[in-house]
Homo-oligomer: A and B are copies of this chain.
Amino acid sequence: MIGRLNHVAIAVPDLAAAAAVYRQTLGASVSEPAEQPEHGVVTVFVELPNTKIELLGALGEGSPIAAFLERNAAGGIHHLCYEVADIEAARAQLVSQGARVLGDGSPKIGAHGKRVLFLHPKDFCGTLVELEEA
Contact = CB atoms under 8 A, between A and B. Distances in A.
B77 A127 contact: yes
B48 A12 contact: no
Contact of A126 (B5, B50, B76): B76
A59 interface: no
Contacts of A49: 3-4
A80 B55 CA distance: 14
A2 B21 contact: no
A92 interface: no
B2 A74 contact: no
Interface string A1-28: 1111100101010000010010011111
A24 B97 contact: yes
